[in-house]
Structure 1
Amino acid sequence: MQAIRTQRVADAIATRIEKLILEGALRPGEKLASERELAQRLDVSRPSLREAIDKLVDRGLLTAGRGGTSVAQFLLPIMTPLANLYRDHKNAAGDYLEFRQWVEAQAAQAAAERATEVDKAAIRACLADMRKAHKSKDSAQEAQADVNLHIRIYEASHNFIVLHVMRALSELLRDNVFFNREHLYGRAGVREKLLAQHVEIGEAVIAGDPERAEKAAATHIQFVFGTVEDIQRDDQRLECSISRVGRNDFLAER
């Protein structure tokens, strides 16, 4: 009888952790509290907790090792090979940003319709972080605040597929698979426009205005799309100019 009771407790723990992962409360890569501490917090036995964790490890939702237990990066192993195919493809950034325009517009619209007061508070805090990063003129901080705001919008859309897929794509951006976000912030005149666009998206969601939020998100991605194309063209022109300067390396001496 004890075995049956333990099994039921383990299932309940696994279901609770699984729900937190699904809803985005526990995020890929995050480390869980130690077994002892987590068992105390949940008021369960360590054997029951261990069994629950083993179930979720087997299902690919958690990873466990000497360093402890973490939420698995369960979408990255699927997306990384595709991203590697795209890495040096000339259409990678364009395809990615076109996809983003479709998703961002609908996610912002849904967020404006569905955001709870908790979601809105998180977006307000994120906007404050963006203003602070902008004031510091730290392109790395601004780029990270940019990612964080978009994730808050995905969360507020309350669409779990959008949240997990777009969060995984955001992880790929850290490796500059599609474009270098810090270079975007380093381009003259761009930082101010990006801040204004992000504020417009966030405030539209907070105000509960779906049409305004959708338009603001679409406009933002269109601007990013155009700026990335400009950066790529400038890089190509510079490369061409440099090759002309070095042309003598390939010529016979006169």
Structure 2
Amino acid sequence: MYAPERQQEILRLAREAGRVEVVLLAERFQVTAETVRRDLTALDRSGLLRRVHGGAVPAGRLGFEPDLTAREATAADEKDRIAAAALAEVPAGGSVILDAGSTVGRLAAALPVETALTVVTHALPVAARLTDHTGIDLHLVGGRVRHRTRAAVDAWALRSYAEIHADVLFLATNGFTAEGGLTTPDLAEAAVKRAAIAAARRVVLLADSAKAGQERFARFGSFADVDLLITDTGLAPAHKAAIEAAGTEVALV
């Protein structure tokens, strides 16, 4: 395959997936990582892609945010395993904050009906999954609801989180790197996530490995804020080592 053909295919893959990674592209096209980096640099100079750590995203995609339906269908098996593993981190009879996110939503769905727990969430889909759990003392944080995530944001939500101290926060993110921390496309969502981190004694990040190396527009935390990352076995060893060096425990499932 000639370079222009390969670059056109890379651009197509980036537009479909929202991101491409150097290592995976090298394997796909049976070329060296350096060849892929040259392709990405050429596409970046053309204004078609933007280089990020470990790969590239379509131009303007640092602010790209798939809707909840699309995220629910992505990496479904990995998210199910992560949610199942996260059940072990739920404190018996304690209090938790459930963030807005498709993997955290799976955790909510996995909670047994008889669970005795205090749950605080600003995510409408999470709350809806727990309304029939009579043992759960459910608190729904209010605010302006973002249609893309079905999550409450802005001042009302921030004030609510400032008034509580939960045992565990189950946190979601759109992207993470050991150096750049945790990011999401929307500033209002980032502010609520930051407030939720401050409201919890322990923070457990639930994120599939496809989000590793991804950087979005709004930064809301670092791995110094995270006690445990639960992710899938697709996480690259280099990412795992860097995150553990930052002091965060990493569980691969």
TM-score bucket of the superposed structures, by smaller chain: 0.3 to 0.5
- When you count helix as a share of all residues, which structure comes out higher? 1
Q: Greater CA radius of gyration, 1 or 2?
A: 1
Q: Report the TM-score when normalising by structure 2.
A: 0.33
When the two structures are superposed, what TM-score results if normalisation uses the length of structure 1? 0.33
Structure having the larger proportion of residues in strand: 2
